[in-house]
């Protein structure tokens, strides 16, 4: 069976940007980290995220707008430097995939 590659995105509590990881899983389903990448947040975006810590009249709207900004940032970023091809296999990603609700 051809190996599958997965790209994961995560923003931590430092709010400095998003960490990206390219992983695969071995035959025992143990993850193997292949490459990493970091995308900086702009100072303006970081300020907007930090402002959500203080209650306002429209914090839900601001949260939604920041969520949209982050989604666009993740989707438009060039992750080609992470892509590893092996024997003609290329990684697949779907930035529009529906995520489970928390």
**31-78 pLDDT, tens digit each:** 899 988 888 899 999 999 999 888 888 888 999 999 999 888 887 776
Whether 96 has a pLDDT exceeding 50, the answer reads no
Nearest Cα to 99, choosing from 3, 2, 10? Answer: 10
Average pLDDT, the chain: 77
Task: Take residue 50 and report the two structure tokens written for it.
Answer: 């930090």
- The residue ranges of every structural domain in the chain are 6-82
Helix or strand (DSSP H, E) at 34: strand 31-40
**Topology, domain 6-82:** Nucleotidyltransferase; domain 5 (3.30.420)
Please classify residue 66 by burial: count the beta carbons closer than 10 Å to its beta carbon, then call 0-12 exposed, 13-18 middle and 19+ buried: middle
Whether 1 has a pLDDT exceeding 60, the answer reads no
Task: Take residue 102 and report the two structure tokens written for it.
Answer: 């928390």
Whether 93 has a pLDDT exceeding 90, the answer reads no
pLDDT top residue among 1 and 102: 1
């Amino acid at each position: 069976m051809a190996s599958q590659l997965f790209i994961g995105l995560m923003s931590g509590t430092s709010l400095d940007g998003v960490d990206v990881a390219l992983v695969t899983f071995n035959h025992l389903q143990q993850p193997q980290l292949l490459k990493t990448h970091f995308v900086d947040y702009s100072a303006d975006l970081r300020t907007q995220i930090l402002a959500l810590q203080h209650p306002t009249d429209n914090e839900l709207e601001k949260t939604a707008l920041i969520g949209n900004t982050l989604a666009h940032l993740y989707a438009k970023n060039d992750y080609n430097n992470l892509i590893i091809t092996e024997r003609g296999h290329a990684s697949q990603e779907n930035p529009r995939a529906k995520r489970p609700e928390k």
